[in-house]
């Protein structure tokens, strides 16, 4: 016979620890389900934004004028950028503010015929260098290992 509290008459009442031990498998399944839903939601949002393989942009961009040459904004909280000077457009200045060619905080200079892969702190990217030269740019939504070198 059970008591109103759900305990069997003649047995000692269950402790709080025993209740917790019974709940742990259920909590584990619940956490797994929430994580699975979060992963699927992030994947769906990336698909809607046009993100494939965690890459926002990849390809050559043409530097056009002498001052503010090329820029783009991204609607992501974090990104990494790879810039490669394949045809001598450098020295290139990569900047994460709207000024383009200003060296300082948020800017990096890449020598002629070199490349760099760095975190993008902010959502704006601008590149300046020699006019009418193509530069390869790849922007990722995830952190990439920092890299620098000469082509």
Q: Are strands 124-128 and 92-95 parallel, antiparallel or unpaired?
A: antiparallel
Q: What is the pLDDT of residues 80-138, one digit of tens each?
A: 888 999 888 878 888 876 555 556 566 888 888 999 998 877 777 888 887 778 889 98
**CA distances (Å), 74 to each of 12, 59, 80, 131, 141, in order?**
62, 16, 11, 24, 10
Are 115 and 146 contained in the same domain? Answer: yes
* Segments forming the whole domain that contains residue 120: 55-150
- pLDDT category of residue 1 using cuts at 50, 70 and 90: very low
- We report the CATH number of the domain holding residue 123 as 2.60.120
Are 79 and 130 contained in the same domain? Answer: yes
């Amino acid at each position: 016979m059970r008591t109103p509290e759900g305990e069997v008459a003649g047995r000692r009442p269950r402790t709080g620890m025993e209740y917790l031990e019974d709940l742990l498998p259920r909590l584990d399944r619940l956490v797994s389900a929430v994580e699975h839903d979060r992963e699927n939601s992030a994947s769906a949002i990336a698909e809607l934004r046009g993100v494939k393989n965690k890459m926002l942009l990849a390809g050559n961009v043409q530097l056009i004028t002498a001052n503010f040459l090329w820029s783009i904004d991204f609607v992501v909280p974090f990104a990494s950028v790879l810039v490669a000077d394949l045809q001598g457009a450098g020295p290139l200045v990569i900047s994460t503010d709207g000024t383009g060619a200003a060296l300082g905080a948020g800017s990096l200079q890449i020598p002629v015929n070199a490349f760099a892969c760095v975190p993008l702190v902010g959502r704006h990217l601008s590149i300046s260098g020699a006019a009418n030269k193509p530069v390869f740019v790849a922007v990722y939504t995830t952190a990439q290992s920092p890299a620098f070198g000469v082509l």
